[in-house]
Amino acid sequence: MKTITPDWSLKKKLQANELTIGSWLTIPHQSVVEIMATAGFEWLTLDLEHAAIDISQAMNMMALIQGKGMKALARVSKNEEVIIKRMLDAGADGIIVPTVRNAAEAKQAVDFVKYPPTGKRGVGLNRAQNYGIGFQEYQDWLRDECVMIVQIEHIDSVHNIEEILSVEGVDGIMVGPYDLSASMGMPGNYEHPDVVEALKKVEETTLRMKKPLGFHVIHSDHVKTLEKINVGYSLLAMSIDFFFLGDKARDEMELLKKAIK
């Protein structure tokens, strides 16, 4: 298994369009983080949009993730100033912002991540700034290493994909397949020709602009992730903690039931 050193740079991997694979966390428990860390993921994303994870739990989970040499990303609940700065102050290595529909919303997300004069983020001291004694170092880190990913999960985002990718400070995009198909009136119907065409537009535009192309692959089957790699995706979230747990349990029980008939 590849050894991940604590000082590796996700930002530089994205800038170089190198493949990087992580996963998604929804269960706020130390054991889940530690188990997922054994798989070799380079980063784990805490889901604060849909999961029952509060900020205190998130900060503890980030410390565990980072202690294992991985990067800790936070998918925030919305493109909103307070939740973004609180997650960054708690020590997140990067932010994933849901449902960014146009360039103005992408610029807003960047502003909430960056301090003035680049952005509009309020200044506070917490874990990220080493509780007040590492503020200068944090400013340097924020400029050079903090990652800001926007999610393409609405048909409006597809129509505006080139403008979104052109916003300075956006380090990459990640397609959210469920919400994208839902915004087109077909929740979960990824095979519908209109959804396929929308995804194709995102892929072609992002690859042409040589920007990091990301996707959240819901299935725990590695073949689905490999398919995205072969298309050209380089920023991939592979499944979710509860799917890894549930799929394995269901598959093995089904095999056992067949074997004892």
Q: Give catalytic residue positions.
A: 50
Q: What pairing do the DSSP bridges indicate for beta strands 43-47 and 172-175?
A: unpaired
Element of type H or E holding 149: strand 147-152
Task: Work out whether the CA dihedral 66, 69, 75, 79 comes out positive or negative.
Answer: positive
**Which position has the token pair 């192309």?**
213
Which amino acid would we find at residue 64?
L
**Angle between the 103-113 and 81-89 helix axes, to the nearest 10 degrees?**
40
**Angle between the 30-37 and 241-259 helix axes, to the nearest 10 degrees?**
80
What distance in Å separates the CA atoms of residue 103 and residue 85, rounded to the nearest whole number?
Answer: 20
Bridge partners, residue 152, by sequence:
175
The two structure tokens encoding residue 202: 């995102």
What distance in Å separates the CA atoms of residue 243 and residue 219, rounded to the nearest whole number?
Answer: 7
